[in-house]
Amino acid sequence: MSSMRDFFHLPEGMIYLDGNSLGPLPAAAADAASKVIVDEWGAQLIKGWNTAGWYRQPGQVGDRIGRLIGAPAGTVVMGDTLSIKVHQALASALELRKQRRVVISDTGNFPSDLYIAQGLLKSLDRGYVLKVVDPEDVEAAIDETVAVVMLTEVDYRTGRLHDMKALTRKAHQAGALAIWDLAHSAGAIPVDVSSAKADFAVGCTYKYLNGGPGAPAFIYVSPEHADEARPALSGWMGHAQPFAFDLDYRAGVGIERMRVGTPPVIALSILSAALDVWDRVDMGEVRAKSIALSDLFIREVESRCPDLSLASPRDSSKRGSQVSFRHPEGYGIMQALIARDVIGDFRAPDVLRFGFTPLYIDEGDVMRSVDVLEQIMVSRSWDSPRFKSKMDVT
Ligand SMILES: *Cc1c(COP(=O)(O)O)cnc(C)c1O
């Protein structure tokens, strides 16, 4: 796979290993946003909803995401943030399994997904139970009491990859539905929600997909449920006829009903520019290169920085596109790396996280980043007060 580096703006000298958290700026993004601001909003004002196609954009951009996650056209729509989409998917799925009261998730899930589930189940106030088990115990926890299995495919902390197909099959055999969060999968690994038979899938677009901070999330509903699922967040844009201004809600056709309110038009134009880059790449090739880079990083860190211990699965087939190491002084070590322009991030209590994004990272970056890490470990330069004060975002 040839490097797509020129399609991104990356500051000179920086090795960016945090595209799993916030992707870099696509080179075409500023012009795309400026076109919407000046030529569309500026020149066309309210007419832009029709003349510039703003109204249909959530579905059109959704179809482009669909190609990356194995979803057919007309089954993905954009809007809101991932936390909101988790709420919608879970509320809809619970209604499709009305007689049951158990939701299964795991300790590797991202806290916001668990918080959303806790909040929703409490609001419903019908005796629901959220069972949060260890990732390796999910399969055994699925029985005939379970309404919904709600999992994130790739663990944000360790990169551990669930078997989406096998767990979905297990859920279906027990009569439950499966919701998959693809936050660390879309643009990271090949995903096929259709062949895995996922009932719902959700994800964000500011991580591997490079849509920019606060870029809108996506939701997929399988065609089997799309006309039946009731969107608990029943906003006007998901109404069958938003511009009839009926006093009563009637859900729109299929995935359109998962729209809630006015879409973020400018953010969607930036995301579109990011997806232009994705149109040029094959996810199989991205995966092969991501594995090569990750394996190289693991090998080099283990041989040159023996105090760090691998927190990610060693088997690349059980790992997403990130590698994590543990160290009790992980926070300070990461701050020292960032000060040297090697950008990863830290996740409490002791995890140093590095994302491998083959669109703009190559073997030379991997080797240089380990050189810097080795120097920091040998010199103990992390052991300085300036690397120990915690900032708002780690
Ligand atoms: C990044 C991430 C989120 C963040 O949700 P937002 O609403 O976009 O802030 C949620 N869930 C998972 C699994 C994530 O990785």
**Across residues 216-235, what is the average pLDDT?**
97
> What architecture does CATH give domain 282-388?
Alpha-Beta Complex (3.90)
Torsional sign, CA 81, 334, 323, 187: positive
Q: Given pLDDT bands bounded at 50, 70 and 90, which one contains residue 388?
A: confident
Cis previous bond, 263, omega within 30: no
- Compute the C-alpha angle 272/273/277, nearest 5°: 105
Mean per-residue pLDDT over the chain, rounded: 97
Token readout for 242 is 């938003």
**Across residues 50-58, what is the average pLDDT?**
97
The reported pLDDT for the residue numbered 284 is: 97
Cβ 210 vs Cβ 274: under 8 Å: yes
What confidence tens digit (pLDDT) does each residue in 323-367 have? Answer: 999 999 999 999 999 999 999 999 999 999 999 999 999 999 999
Distance 125 CA to ligand 1 centre (A): 25
Domain ranges of the chain: 29-279, 282-388
The reported pLDDT for the residue numbered 281 is: 95
Instruction: Annotate 39-59 with b (16+ C-beta within 10 A) or e (fewer).
Output: ebbeeeeeebbeebebbebbb
3.90.1310.10, 3.40.640.10, 4.10.640.10, 3.40.50.2300: which CATH number matches 29-279? Answer: 3.40.640.10
Distance 83 CA to ligand 1 centre (A): 6
What confidence tens digit (pLDDT) does each residue in 313-324 have? Answer: 999 999 999 999
Q: Is pLDDT of 1 > 80?
A: no
Token readout for 206 is 């500011």
Distance 302 CA to ligand 1 centre (A): 30
| Residues near ligand 1 (Cβ within 6 A) | 81-83, 110, 112-113, 152, 156, 181, 183-184, 204
Q: Which residue has the tokens 């007419």?
A: 47
C-alpha span between 112 and 105 (Å, rounded): 12
**Cα–Cα distances in angstroms (integers) from residue 150 to residues 24, 161, 207, 223, 262, in the given order:** 29, 14, 20, 19, 27
What confidence tens digit (pLDDT) does each residue in 266-298 have? Answer: 999 999 999 999 999 999 999 999 999 999 999
The reported pLDDT for the residue numbered 393 is: 83
- Compute the C-alpha angle 129/255/54, nearest 5°: 125
pTM of the model: 0.97
Q: Whose CA is nearest to atom 8 of ligand 1?
A: 82
The reported pLDDT for the residue numbered 3 is: 80
Q: Whose CA is nearest to atom 13 of ligand 1?
A: 110
Q: Left, alpha or beta for 346 (phi > 0: left; psi -120 to 50: alpha)? A: beta
